[in-house]
Amino acid sequence: MVYYLRSINYKMSDSNIKNEISVPGNIVMSGIRPTGKLHLGNYFGAMQNYVKMQNEYQCYFMVADLHSLTTHPDTSELKDNIFRVLAENIACGLDPEKVALYCQSHLYETSELYLYLNMLAYKGELEKTATFKDKARLHPDNINAGLLTYPVLMATDILIHRASYVPVGKDQEQHLEMARNFANRFNTRYHNVFPQPKAFNFSSNLVKVPSLDGSGKMSKSENQMATVYLSDTDDEIRKKVKRAKSDQGPQTPNSEMPEEIKNLFLLLDLVSDKETSQYFLEKFNDCSIRYGDLKNQLADDMIKFISPVRQRAEELVNNENYLKKVMKEGAEKASASASATLKLVRNAMGLNYF
Ligand code: TYM
């Protein structure tokens, strides 16, 4: 049983606060931007871990609508996307009774901690962030301050619950490193309030789910024909997998695998059982592989996994009242945790004048 009310040991008047604050070790936090439909990358990079962690940890998972405004200022589809992300998370097995499932903009405490952490973030390091450089290249007409301070907002999301574990895909590694830097700077300059949050995956490595066109990764808003979405129909999945990049097949036994074939095997490892991967690997190594067979198997196994999730998500997405209740209760749990952290933060910073 996971409890959301944390005991906080601090006294307003105690100058030796450092020794009074115990840093919790079992808190998990993560988020997903509602910038499009969720895909296999989101599932295997993040949501699969959410579902596994919900039984053992105190978990805060949110829809990062504020982050999406840094690149998607048009909000006409935002509400629908938020409901879909919630529905798909639940359809994948997340239980809103066990976790706090909320929407980022409902947690008002975020703005305050974001402000304090912004004073600990340097322009130079923010400009060097890989995602900032990528997004600035993609959206040259909208290089806004929110985009620059994106990692600060993300660190805020994590630190506001004093989370230690952050289940994310490989693409978020640098953001996690920055969150640790901001936490360290705060702890060193003021008092030891924050743990060191770590990117987490149940298997040892963080995951990058590749796209089907042989380059890059699956993505919500780019590369849509090479991305398999949790809402794709069986036919769409078959079409996309059939079009996946491959070649004429190996000509010599045990030859090096080209990148696009490695990607197909990586996807097979994720959705199929071990024996299936092993079977095709042996066929690759003795040059008898037929990529058509591999793709048919891959499509079958993706469909087996996605089809029930899609059906469950469709039911849930039409149940707005239920999703609103989930969001509201999630925000209440998240707010209890965030306001407790902010008391510690203000106190540590000496912003306690009464
Ligand atoms: P976002 O919305 O881009 O992605 C959500 C989660 O899915 C993972 N992911 C992938 N993993 C493997 N392969 C892929 N192809 C792939 N594509 C996406 C991401 O790593 C992520 O875990 N900045 C975050 C959202 C965020 C957040 C946070 C995350 C905001 N605040 C606090 C953790 C903690 C993002 O843009 O994720």
Confidence (pLDDT) at 18: 46
The domains spanning 3-19+26-207+319-349 and 224-314 adopt the same CATH topology: no
Q: Is 333 a catalytic residue?
A: no
Q: For 224-314, which CATH class?
A: mainly alpha
Looking at residue 20, its pLDDT comes to: 56
Separation between Cα atoms, residue 58 and residue 152, nearest integer Å: 23
Give CA–CA dist 118/353, Å, rounded. Answer: 22
* CA gap 265, 27 in Å, rounded: 34
What spacing in Å lies between the alpha carbon of 179 and ligand 1's midpoint? 15
Q: Cβ(35)–Cβ(73) under 8 Å?
A: no
pLDDT at residue 258, rounded to an integer: 94
Task: Tell how far the Cα of 169 is from the centroid of ligand 1, in angstroms.
Answer: 6
In the numeric block, which tokens belong to residue 319?
Answer: 């149940």
Spatial distance between the Cα atoms of 128 and 229, rounded to a whole number of angstroms: 31
Q: Which residues contact 183 (CB under 8 A, 6 or more apart)?
A: 155, 159, 194, 195, 196, 197
Grouping H, G, I as helix, E, B as strand and the rest as coil, residue 260 is: helix
- The residue whose CA is least distant from atom 34 of ligand 1 is 30
| pTM of structure | 0.93
Residue 263 CA to residue 164 CA, distance in Å, equals 31
Contacting residues for 72 by C-beta, under 8 A, at least 6 apart: 35, 78, 221
Burial of 307 (0-12, 13-18, 19+ CB in 10 A): middle
**What are the domain boundaries of the chain?**
3-19+26-207+319-349, 224-314
- Per the CB < 8 A criterion, the answer to whether 334 and 58 are in contact is no
Q: What is the DSSP letter of 128?
A: H
d(CA 34, CA 48): 18
Which residue owns the Cα nearest ligand 1 atom 27?
31
β-bridge partners, 32: 63
Tell me the backbone φ, ψ of residue 28, rounded to 5 degrees. Answer: -120, 140
Coil, strand, or helix at residue 169?
coil
Catalytic site residue 135?
yes
Full pLDDT tens readout for the chain, 354 residues: 444 544 343 333 344 444 456 778 899 999 999 999 999 999 999 999 999 999 999 999 999 999 999 999 999 999 999 999 999 999 999 999 999 999 999 999 999 999 999 999 999 999 999 999 999 999 899 999 999 999 999 999 999 999 999 999 999 999 999 999 999 999 999 999 999 999 999 887 899 999 999 888 999 988 889 999 999 999 999 999 999 999 999 999 999 999 999 999 999 999 999 999 999 999 999 999 999 999 999 999 999 999 999 999 999 999 999 999 999 999 999 999 999 999 999 999 999 998
Helix locations, 36-77, DSSP H: 40-42, 48-53, 65-68
18, 79, 208, 217: the catalytic one is 217
pLDDT at 1: 43
- Predicted confidence at residue 6, as pLDDT, reads 44
The CATH class of the 3-19+26-207+319-349 domain is: alpha beta
Residue entry with tokens 């591999």: 294
217 in catalytic set: yes
Q: Which residues line ligand 1 (CB under 6 A)?
A: 29-33, 41-42, 45-46, 64, 67, 154, 157-158, 166, 168-169, 171-172, 207-209, 217-218
Q: Which atom, in ligand 1's list, is nearest to the CA of 32?
A: 2
Note whether 166 and 79 are within 8 A (CB). Answer: no
